[in-house]
Each structure stands twice: as C-alpha cells, then as structure tokens.
Amino acid sequence: MWFKVENKRSSTGQKYVVRCKSEIADNCVVEERPAKGLIAARKTAEILATTLNVTATVYGTDSEGEFVYGVHEIADGAASATSPIIKQLFAESATASLAFKDQLLANIPEDTIKGFASMSAALGYIVTQHKQIKRASTPQISYSTLFRIFCGASDPSVLSLPSDDATIAILTQKLADMPGWMWLSDLPGVGAADRNIVMPNVRPAKVTLNIDGELQVIRPRTVFRGTVPESGAQFMLIVQPSERRGFCDSVGLVYLEKDETAVVALVSRLLRESNPFKGRVVLVNRDLRTVRSRMSGRSWGDIIPHERARAELDFVAASVRNRDMLKAEGLSIRRGLLLSGPPGDGKSTAIECFVNDIAGEATIIIVEAVEHIRVVYHLAQTLAPAVVILEDLDLMTKSRDNPYALAVKDDVTGELLQVLSGGSAYSDIVTIATTNHPEAIDGALAKRAGRFDVHIRLGYPSDADKQRILELYLDRFGVNDDLTRLRLQQALQRDLGRLHLVPAHIEEFVKAGIKRARLAGRTPEYLDFEPGIEATKSIATAKPSA
C-alpha cells in the first residue's frame, strides 16, 4: 500500500531514488533504483516492495537536501507497519475507506443484498462439495498395478498375513536396510485388504515400546518391494490397517502364484523374528507396552501361597506346558480363573510367582489399562499359547445392573463377554483376573462357566498361616534372636489377633523393623518392629465381635 509522506515539497527535476533493504544469505543488501517522475517512482517502489517482501522508500532532492517523499508498505494492517507515521496514515486511510463503503452499502437496495447473501451461501456449499469430491477422488493405486510397475507384468495373487502393529513397525524398520528389499518412500499410505489398494491419506500411528528398559518410538513404513534370495522372485509387501484407525495388524503380500510358498515362508519367518512379545511378559497400558523376560525374581518359595490358588495356577502352567498333548485329544488350554479377596491378600503375588514360573514357555499379557479388550485378545492369539491377566477386573468393566457406570466400561464388558465364550472364544488363551469386589462384576462374567470356570476367594489367612508367613520373612532377613522372634509371634497372636490381617500387613511391619535396625547399624530387636506393629493396628480392619 502506498503512503505519501511529504505533501508540499517536490524533487528537483522530478528525479527520485527508490531504496529498500533486504536480507540475502544473512547479509543486509541495499537495493537502489532511480526513477523519473512520480508515477515511475511509485511503480518502482511497488515492484521492489512486493518482489522482495520489504518496505520501499521514495526519496527526493531539493535545495534543502534529500527528503522522504513516500513509502510503499507491504504490511496488511496498521499494527504491522514499521513506521509511526505509516501507522497513522494507514489508520486515516482505513477510516476513510470504511466510511465510503458504508455509504455504498446504504445506497444498495435490500433485495440486492439478499441476493448477494443467497449467492454467498451457494458458493459456500459449492466449496464444501468440492473439498469432499477432491478427498474422495484422491489418487489410489491398486496392488496389481503396483506389482506390475515394480515387479513386471502378469496378474499377481494377494494374501494377508495377520500380525500386530509393534511387530510390523520393527519389521519395516529392519526391511529398509536389508539387501533385496526396496522401501518405496515416495509412495505414502497403507493398504486396504478388502479393496487391494493403497490409500495415500491413511497413515499408521507411531508405536511406543519399552523393551527391557529401553524406550523405542517407531513409525512403521508401509510399502516395499521384496526379493526371495534363492530364486530372485520379486513381490510386494504392503502394511494394512486394523479396525482401530492408525493401527496396523496385517501385511499384504502380492506375488506370482508360483512364488507363493517361498514368499509366505520368507515373510512369516521375518515376522516371527521381529516379534518383541513371543514368550515374553508384556504389560499393556493403553498405547505403551512394556516387555520383559520375567516379571521379577520372586518365586513360589518366597511366599506362603493360598493353597487352592496355588493348585489352580499350577494346573494352568501344566496345561500350557502340555498343550500339544492336550490338542491331540481335542482339548484346549482355554480356561478362566477369577481370584477375589481383600487388598493385600496375595492375589497379585501369587500371579507374579506363576508368571515367573512359566515365563519363556508362554506369552504373558498383563493388562493394566485398555479401552479395546478385543485388540488384546487378537494380539494374544497371534502369540499363543498365551495367558491374559486382567488386574482389578471390577475397575475395568462394569455390571450392566449399574446405570451409573461409565459407558466405556460397558464396551469393555461386552467385548470381554464375546472373547471369553461362544464362537468368538480364543482356544489357546488362558484368562486370569483379580478383583477386590467380585459383587461389582457383571454376573454373566463372574458366574458363567466357560468364561470364568473357577472363582477362588482368597480371604484372610488362618492364625497358623499368619505365623508361617511371619517366620518366612524373619528367616529371609536373618532375624535369629529367639527372644525377638518369640515376642513377635506373641504380638501377632495377641496384639494383632483381633484384626483381619493379610500377608501384606505382616510383610510390611517386618520390613519396616528390618529397615530401622539396618539404618541404626545393629541386629534387629523387638523395639525396631514396634512402630510397624502400631501402624498395622491403625490400618487393619477389626474382626467383628463374637
């Protein structure tokens, strides 16, 4: 926009100079152009300003010396102008322009205004439809066309191999650098298995994994040309999405029929090698999955387990270890086990020992938080034999008799009902769930054979078991003083005997006493355990009076 600064003075001989500053390669460059006459000066200033995206100033010369005649300012508003005088001139110009526009509008007939409004609405509709049509007609390339472009003529066959997004992400990361594979980086998008096309607008989501303490964030790559090493046969590998938008659960293979066996064998082997979950312990927390070899170093010898819970978990472990023998007789390892009881009664500890006992012989999926339980079971089936552990099932699902529970819990309950029974059941998966409140679980889950076949209520240990638990921890931490052990046994029976204790209560007051003794640098004494015993009294539930 042009602003005239000097209204009275005129340049000698109508000769002007147009100057502007611009940054080129971090250097300040001054552009200067001579102009003869006001029209030429303004035109030169406009060309320089718009071309270089800077402010161009027109200077004139008279008997008093050089002066600023006018400025071509490219800023589209007074607040962006570089000079105070330009801001003032811009504001005055804008005010005059608005007054002129208001006068014009006042003179336009009302029917004409309505016509303009209708035309504007029609144009808005046309723009919206144009965007939708453009989106729908985004170029898509078919699998067969892709095969002919990169692998040669002939009609190819197509096959989908199921997998999971983490395995696919790791696989595609490897393939980009493997000999015999070409990542088609100029061809974005993922495949649609039902239509055999690549959709450029769909992008796979990033995969976040924590494998043995190493955090990995991987963006899957999507389209490759592969080569079978032995025969040199070429084929296409195309990543395909699942029902969850952005998550991939299969790879499409496009090949000549005669090469099918070699191609499927090659890609199946690479998928197995890339799988981070098979035979591992997997903690699922929505989009983050933590993978470990073992859950911890704890074993059955480190606890006094609930006898029936231990027997059922040993039965599950034996079924998994002898899966092939059972399968030969038409039997599956599918089973549902529900452990309930008060917090700290040993449910999670028993599961931890079971997991460490069977680690490496089955895939263990521990679900800490999830929105789509079917995705978990789909993953478990690809990793079978597998054990799915649902901690605090009552918090994850809801009873359908409770109208106030969250809708997302209702979705999880419905999905869980389907995957645990009927035609949708997964035969090579064992489900173990825990809850502190079994009454809050839908009866169709908790009380239906074929979903949870066994419900074990752990409850509070007997007096004899409490003494055994105490002795176990005293032996572990080397408390050998007979008088200290005797006083602790008496306190457990007398002072704590009127309370409902769980194994966690006993473990905690023993550990608290050991810590006090260690920090004081002495052999544990009874006085070291007294504060922990008092703390237990404050949190344990009193037994009902007889």
DSSP string, 136-196: HT---EEHHHHHHHHH-SSPPEEEEEE--HHHHHHHHHHHTTSTTEEE-TTS-SEEETTTT
CA distances from 210 to 216, 284, 523 (A): 6, 10, 41
Confidence of residue 464 (pLDDT cuts 50, 70, 90): very high
pLDDT tens digits along 81-91:
566 666 666 66
The per-residue pLDDT for 404 is 44
Confidence of residue 408 (pLDDT cuts 50, 70, 90): very low
Strands (E), 37-117: 56-62, 65-72
pLDDT tens digits along 241-262:
876 555 788 999 999 999 999 9
Please report the sign of the dihedral spanned by the C-alpha atoms of residue 449, residue 450, residue 451, residue 457.
positive
Query: How far is 445 from 415, CA to CA, in rounded Å?
Result: 11
pLDDT tens digits along 26-55:
677 788 899 999 889 988 888 888 777 788
Nearest to 373 by CA among 459, 311, 456, 433: 433
Dihedral angle at the C-alpha atoms of 244, 246, 249, 253, nearest 10 degrees? 130
Q: Does domain 290-457 have CATH number 3.40.50.720?
A: no
As a whole number, mean pLDDT of residues 467-489 equals 94
Query: How far is 509 from 539, CA to CA, in rounded Å?
Result: 12
Confidence of residue 147 (pLDDT cuts 50, 70, 90): very high
pLDDT tens digits along 319-343:
999 999 999 998 888 888 999 999 9
More confident residue, 130 or 454: 454
Provide the mean pLDDT of the chain. 84
As a whole number, mean pLDDT of residues 457-476 equals 93
Percent pLDDT > 90 in the chain is 45
Helix and strand element counts for the chain (H, E): 17, 24
Percent pLDDT > 70 in the chain is 86
Query: How far is 390 from 308, CA to CA, in rounded Å?
Result: 19
pLDDT tens digits along 363-407:
999 988 777 788 888 888 888 899 999 988 888 775 545 544 444
The per-residue pLDDT for 406 is 45
The per-residue pLDDT for 407 is 43
As a whole number, mean pLDDT of residues 135-145 equals 74
Is it the case that residue 155 has pLDDT exceeding 90? no
Amino acid, single-letter form, for residue 360:
G
Composition of the chain by helix, strand, coil, percent to 5: 45, 25, 30
Please report the sign of the dihedral spanned by the C-alpha atoms of residue 484, residue 489, residue 495, residue 501.
positive
Q: What angle do CA 250, 371, 245 make, to 5 degrees?
A: 40
The per-residue pLDDT for 122 is 74
As a whole number, mean pLDDT of residues 214-235 equals 93
CA distances from 461 to 346, 397, 411 (A): 10, 28, 36
Nearest to 440 by CA among 404, 387, 407, 415: 404
Architecture of the CATH domain 463-542:
Orthogonal Bundle (1.10)
